[in-house]
Structure 1
Amino acid sequence: MTAPEVMRLGPARLTAGLDQHVRLGLEDHRTAHGPLPRYDRDELLALADRLDLRGRGGAGFPFARKARAVLATADRTGQPPVVVVNATEGEPASAKDRMLLARTPHLILDGACLAAEAFGAEEIVVGVSAGGPGEVAVPRAVDERRRKGNKSLIPCRIRTVCLPERFVAGESGALIRGISGLPAVPPARKARASDGGPAGVRGRPTLLSNAETYAQLAVAGRLGPDAYAVVGTPAEPGTLLLTLTRTALPPLVVEVPAGAPMGVVLDTCGIPPGQGLLVGGYHGAWLRPEDAAHTPISRAGLAAVGGTLGAGAIASLADSTCPIGEVARIAAWLAAQSAGQCGPCRLGLPNTADALAQLATGGGGPSALDEARRTIASVRGRGACAHPDGSARFVLSALTVFAEDLAVHESGRGCGRPVKGLLPLPGETASALPATDADAEATLEVDWARCDGHGLCAALAPELVALGPHGYPVIGTTPIAPWLEHSARRAVSQCPALALRLKHRQ
């Protein structure tokens, strides 16, 4: 797997040494970053507090507050904590964690070891995506440290857990379930990993943060609060890692000072603003190019224009592609990536994706747009995890930013532009292996010459099939989610007229 390309605007912190090395081994890492100081519990909490260090995986939760909750549970129960690094990066538009794993893995391990030693953790667990760079890079880096025999390099046991590459597998509860050997889906009931018990790894109070967060902790530990805050904004000191999606080129990972103007970053990296900017990834929000140009890239700056920093992913949508088709494409993928544990995911997201697909092809008219708005608005605040809320933010912001295109599609004419698939999705890049039936997307298809309108398919697979006004099946165009495959196959096998079949799309 090719290591993502890196660029920096301003000082190199997380990217130090990467202009000279494709990968920083332990010795190169020490040369680029210097020795790692040791902190006790109170000193590390004070450092994180002073900088208001926040999670960089999307939620932006304060690291010090999370750590204090973990330590409070550890003190109360007498159980040592577990440090978990979330390096799964299921966000297709983001490559920053993949870059850190492939090119500077010791920086992630430095931050995790810093926390583990200061907080008396008994174990560090690094969660990575199966088949990704972390599967090899993390064990290799741990082995390099082990050969040095320095306890500060490995203060406790470190192990790597590989999880399936799935969007919701990176949710904190899903990650801990996966580490515990359970299906990597969000738990039906929300609980805090810091409380331990069923929500923690092996019942222990668990400190879970994103890979970049631990890398930032390692940088801050070396620099100290004053030097760390030389760049960035007073409220958000330091640098950020961004992933910029580029047309016909691999993604570019850029380190910028927090608060850098969006327009300057895009212009320097040679990325035109296009017809809309997606910030924060597929749980993020769309911005108009004119609104984004002077927007500071920071949590506060993006929130002021209705955006979100999220996972630090920015995608500029070129003028040559159909924006409604691109949005419909991602909405269908988001619907298929859900865990299917609650109504918003089982019904709301697929129905929204179907309505957007109708609009994209110039069909459905005003009723399809009304259906998309109604269903996606209805899922907000009702999901078992954050997936419905993030998906709603993505779709609703698109309906606002691309309002003019929507009006053309709503009229039935369509915009006339092809859907080029410029927004990245897993499996759409060149692969060394040919696609198999297991990798293909599947949809249900009706042979209308055979269908007699029995309606049994709607009873067997209500999430996939509805009955129209005359009793015949109405089937959406979105791919069948993994958790619905059994229902789909049962509907196919039990159709009395043998009119239903699965159609695979490579």
Structure 2
Amino acid sequence: MSEPLVVPEVRRLGPARLTAGMDRWDRLDFAAHRRTHGPLPRASRSELLAVADRIDLRGRGGAAFPFARKARATLGAAERSGRAPVLVVNGAEGEPPSVKDATLLARAPHLVLDGVTLAALAFGAAEVVVAVASGSAAELSVPAAIAERGRDPVPMRTLCVPDRFVSGESGALIRAVNGRAALPPSRPVRAAEGGRGGVSGRPTLLCNAETWAQLALAARLGPDAFAVVGTPDEPGTLLVTVNRSPRPPVVVEVPAGASLAVVLDACGVDPGAGVLVGGYHGAWLPPHLAPDLPLSRTGLAAAGGTLGAASVVALPRGVCALAEITAVAGWLADESTGQCGPCRRGLPETVDALRALSRGAGSASAVRRAAALGRGRGACAHPDGVARFVLSALTVFAEDIATHASGSGCGLSSGLTLPLPRQAGERLAVDWARCAGHGLCASLAPDLITLDPHGFPLLRENANLAPWQRPQARRAVARCPALALRIGR
């Protein structure tokens, strides 16, 4: 690899497992990887599943689904269909607060490839696909790692997907592997069953990068040695992305169950006014919980939170919580695919309610109603995740919200500190000197434009055009009789 890797700083609290060797090498090539971790052991199907069962290996991408159960479902479908399964590494995190998988694939790609190779051999897989975000350091590192390994016993290839929030959704990723747009399917499908939900119709086992790396570690260490650190219910270590605005994030390897306060302190981060754990589909927690909060699935669930993809963001004191929440909710709405009602209408209405509240013209109850409308009704988990993010914020930042609802405003800085891509999006605009109130635009772009009592267009405030909205916007611009609509930045 000739180009330098640009990845976050990596630290550890406790033993270095996933991060072993990163203190000596920016990137572990195959030789450095073998010196650090040793040769890859061989394991039969039953042995590998027994290891995964013993350590209760679960997905580290957010859903925390048991690996062994997912693998057995895939293998069962493969036996019934007579078609060998496909294994997929999901390295497309898709959201700004989480960079752990991209860092792992950039700096220790062979640990991930070891895990999926081990499973591919044990399960008789037909192919391995490693999906990475376009433009990330992993886009360079993973193909180089595959080349360094020589001829793998199972065919292995890399796929670059758009760096979007929805690209990492399992259904969207499998569609991308099949050569289609990386969008979640309109109806839930099971990759393990194959058919329309699998790669090339084959039963498909998809896990994120850290999950495969953990499998490689467990196979080398054995269940007992693997469980020396962590908790009895959640053994081992985990990777946590700690965001430190305005400084770059840091990826920390910690034993499962480590104190959130200790991790934040080690990274020089104060809990501030509230702590978001689990990314933008996670939940906000009040800062007073941080000293006693363990970074584990059960510990966070007991406090009303979720581990998710193990990213942590603290909102600094002195900034407007409502402005931050509104900005992220707007970005999440823009990132939706617009394939179901909750995304087409529910998310924009939630953002509109938040913006009205920030002006003193709305209420927290209106935001709650809008956010709750799509829960459990979406084609994927996106509306539910956004609702969790927004509704938990209304509770944790209730005092700040109340000042806005009263119309007085909080008086705090509205400069954004939560991590978001700094890209100027396209927006619809009206030339009021031309607009004659024909009203045609509202029928051509109903998701973007409504009409006031006099028939003139009302546009959503500060709303960027999501990809699925652009055809509507272009149609309305092209057919406006007065040429009063335009798309700009």
Do these two structures clear the TM 0.5 threshold for a shared fold by scoring above it? Answer: yes
Shift of 1:97: 0.7
1:432-475 CA-to-partner distances (Å, cap 9, x unmatched) read xxxxxxx6402222333443332222111111112234433221
- Residues 1:91 and 2:88 aligned together: no
Partner of 1:131: 135
Q: Which amino acid aligns with 2:305?
A: G
Q: How does 1:35-54 map to 2 (within 5 A)?
A: 35-54=39-58
Give the Cα separation in 1 of the matches to 2:245 and 2:335. 24
CA contact (8 A) 1:354 1:478 kept: no
Task: Give deviations 1:220-240, integer Å, cap 9, x for gaps.
Answer: 111100000011111100011
State yes or no: 1:494 paired with 2:489.
Answer: no
1:196 aligns to 2:191 (yes or no): no
TM-score (norm 2): 0.97
- Match of residue 372 from structure 1: 367
Compute the displacement of 1:421 (Å): 2.0
> 1:300-311 maps to which residues of 2 (within 5 A)?
300-311=298-309
1:28 maps to 2:28? no
C-alpha distance in 2 between matches for 1:443 and 1:274: 34
1:420 aligns with 2:404: no
Matches for 1:393-404 after TM superposition, within 5 Å:
393-404=388-399
Separation in structure 2 between the aligned mates of residue 139 and residue 86 of structure 1, nearest angstrom: 15
SS at match of 2:200: coil
SS at 2:289's partner residue?
A: helix
Q: Which amino acid aligns with 2:367?
A: A
- Picking from 428, 435, 438, the partner of 1:451 is 435
Q: Which amino acid aligns with 1:460?
A: L
1:266 corresponding residue in structure 2: 264
Q: Deviations over 1:172-194 (max 9, x none)?
A: 01000001000110011111111
For the residues of structure 2 that align with 1:244 and 1:347, how far apart are their CA atoms?
33
Per the alignment, residue 257 of structure 1 pairs with 255
Between the aligned partners of 1:281 and 1:65, the Cα distance in structure 2 is 25
1:317 deviates by 0.7
Q: Within 2, Cα distance between the matches of 1:370 and 1:364?
A: 12
Q: In structure 1, what residue type is equivalent to 2:309?
A: A
User: Who is 1:113 aligned against?
Assistant: 117
Runs of 4+ in 1 over 4 A off after TM superposition: none
For 2:466, which of 481, 484, 500 is the aligned residue? 481
Match of 1:101 among 78, 82, 105: 105
Match runs of 1:242-391 below 5 Å: 242-360=240-358, 362-366=359-363, 369-391=364-386
C-alpha distance after superposition, 1:27-74 (max 9, x if no partner) = 111111122211000000000011110000000000000000011011
Match of 1:160 in 2: 158
Question: Residues 491, 297 of structure 1: CA spacing in aligned structure 2 closer, same or farther, 3 A cutoff?
Answer: same
Contact 1:22-1:103 at 8 Å conserved across structures: yes
SS at match of 2:303: coil
Q: Deviations over 1:263-306 (max 9, x none)?
A: 11111221101111010001111010012331111000111111
After superposition, the CA RMSD in angstroms is 1.3
CA–CA separation in structure 1 for the residues paired with 2:254 and 2:361: 43
C-alpha displacement of 1:371:
3.0
Amino acid of the structure 2 residue aligned with 1:484: Q
Partner residue of 2:229?
231
CA contact (8 A) 1:408 1:415 kept: yes
**Partner residue in 2 for 1:2:** 6
* Counterparts of 2:338 and 2:163, CA distance in 1: 17
CA distance in 2, matches of 1:382, 1:394: 17
CA distance in 1, matches of 2:107, 2:113: 13
> Is 1:69 aligned with 2:67?
no
CA distance in 1, matches of 2:208, 2:94: 12
Match of 1:460 in 2: 444
Alpha-carbon separation, structure 1, partners of 2:157 and 2:414:
42
Rounded Cα–Cα distance in structure 2 between residues aligned with 1:28 and 1:124: 23
**Aligned-partner Cα distance in 2 for 1:455–1:449:** 15
- Structure 2 equivalent of residue 407 of structure 1: 402
In the alignment, what sits opposite 1:78? Answer: 82
Paired residue type of 2:99 = A
Distance in 2, Cα, partners of 1:422 & 1:290? 21
Alpha-carbon contact 1:4-1:98 (below 8 Å) kept: no
How many angstroms does 1:420 deviate by? 2.2
In the other structure, the counterpart of 2:169 is 171
Cα distance in 2 for residues equivalent to 1:197 and 1:365: 47
Q: Distance in 2 between matches of 1:320 and 1:155?
A: 56
Query: One-letter code of the match for 1:78?
Result: G
Partner of 2:90: helix, strand, or coil?
Answer: strand
State whether residues 353 and 370 of structure 2, in contact with CA within 8 Å, keep that contact through their aligned partners in structure 1. no
Unaligned runs of 5+ in 2: none
C-alpha displacement of 1:330: 0.5
SS in 2 for 1:174: helix
Q: Give how far 1:423 is off.
A: 1.2
- Structure 1 residue 122: deviation in Å? 1.3
CA distance in structure 1 between the partners assigned to 2:276 and 2:372 by the alignment: 19
Q: 1:355–1:364: 8 Å Cα contact kept in structure 2?
A: no
